[in-house]
Amino acid sequence: MQGAGVENKRIIILGAAGFIGKNLTARLLQEGYPLTLFDRPGGSYPAAVGQAAARGQVCLAEGNFGDPVPGLFDGLGEVDCVYHLISTTCPSNSNRDVAREMEENLVATIRFLDACVENRVKKVVFLSSGGTVYGKLHTGICREEEEAFPITSYGVQKLAIEKVLYLYHEMYGLEYRIVRLSNPYGPYQRPDGVQGVVSTFTYRALQGLPIAVYGDGSVVRDYIYIADAVEGILKIADGGKGHCLYNLGSGRGATVLDVIDGITRVLGKKPEVTFLPGRPVDVPVNVLDVTRFEKDFGTAAKVSLEEGIEKLVRFYQGEENV
């Protein structure tokens, strides 16, 4: 997204205080873009965001996504792009209250898209989920053209929002991009949260704490380092080349035990592992076919899993610029 006149472009990031949001914000700040950052009340940001706000490059807004946010578009003029990163649930804790989850995510997004149309937003980039929308009725290699049968409410929400974006494009001409992201990991991901096998395991191993594995560790996932994910998101946002939907991942599968082996090699010691019963929300194999992305934009994942773990270790040890 580099080029002349970046100071005249207007970008909104929804969910800017989250893991992906912080990394996307950092990258766009480096390139000089003025940003409006939105998240729930009490969201925390790296020091660089506060410094950018002090010099007028960043405007901070907060509220609950399901409620109208007064003034979010005020004074921005035409908004070039909105990055929609918000979700109030995650795969492991969805399905508990499907109606409420749909209200907080799908219905809230529809209301926000109405505001985008009203305020003449040029483009919406939506972070969908390559790990959940496809479900388990596939060969294990997930392609964009395949039918999707998610087995969690989280995946259903993401898929439904994808379809609504298509509808709003047909109805109002709203330009959009959909990024079906695999499993990102790296700096600013919560090591004590409910998502992020690589980050959580690496952090706990560094602290000498046991790692809990659901099932026998044979679940296969596609992991991508966050810097590669952000680079891919920006390429999709600016490109498209005939497509509005892209898988974004490494295109390679790794089992949970592979992740633990990688941590063991990086740290030089094997962490303690506790095996727990498997979970019904865990699809056995999920690897994204990134052929479409790589045909249009080049290599998706430049950082290998072990290299990413090494970078993450340095981040946890105090080296932020990784």
Higher-pLDDT residue of 68 and 126 is 126
DSSP helix/strand/coil, 74: coil
Rounded to a whole number, what is the distance in angstroms from the first to the last CA of the chain?
21
Q: Is the pLDDT of residue 3 over 60?
A: no
Q: Is the pLDDT of residue 322 over 60?
A: no
Of 28-32, 96-100, 113-117, 159-163, minimum mean pLDDT range: 96-100
Q: Average pLDDT of the chain?
A: 91
Q: Is the pLDDT of residue 191 over 60?
A: yes
Q: Specify the pLDDT at position 280.
A: 84
Opening angle at CA 107, ends 132 and 122, nearest 5: 90
Q: Are 200 and 213 in contact (CB under 8 A)?
A: no
Mean pLDDT confidence for 135-140: 81
DSSP per position, 105-153: IIIHHHHHHHHHHHTT--EEEEEEETTTTTBTSS-SEE-TTS--B-SSH
Higher-pLDDT residue of 93 and 235 is 235
Percent of the chain that is helix, strand, coil (3-state, to 5): 40, 20, 45
Q: Is the pLDDT of residue 2 over 70?
A: no
Opening angle at CA 253, ends 160 and 292, nearest 5: 55
Q: Specify the pLDDT at position 136.
A: 84
pLDDT by residue (tens digit) across 244-253? Answer: 999 999 999 9
- H-run or E-run covering 287: strand 287-288
Q: Specify the pLDDT at position 320.
A: 60
Higher-pLDDT residue of 93 and 142 is 142
Tokens linked to 63: 């509220």
Q: Kindly report the pTM of this predicted structure.
A: 0.93
pLDDT by residue (tens digit) across 192-224? Answer: 876 789 999 999 999 999 999 999 999 999 999
Count of CA atoms in the C-beta half-sphere (13 A) of 73: 18
Q: Name the DSSP class of 272.
A: P
Distance of alpha carbon 77 from alpha carbon 74, whole angstroms: 7
Q: Specify the pLDDT at position 1.
A: 43
Q: Name the DSSP class of 63.
A: -
Mean pLDDT confidence for 96-121: 93
pLDDT by residue (tens digit) across 57-105? Answer: 999 999 989 887 767 888 777 899 999 999 988 776 778 889 999 999 9
Q: Are 312 and 206 in contact (CB under 8 A)?
A: no
Q: Specify the pLDDT at position 319.
A: 76
Q: Which residues contact 280 (CB under 8 A, 6 or more apart)?
A: 151
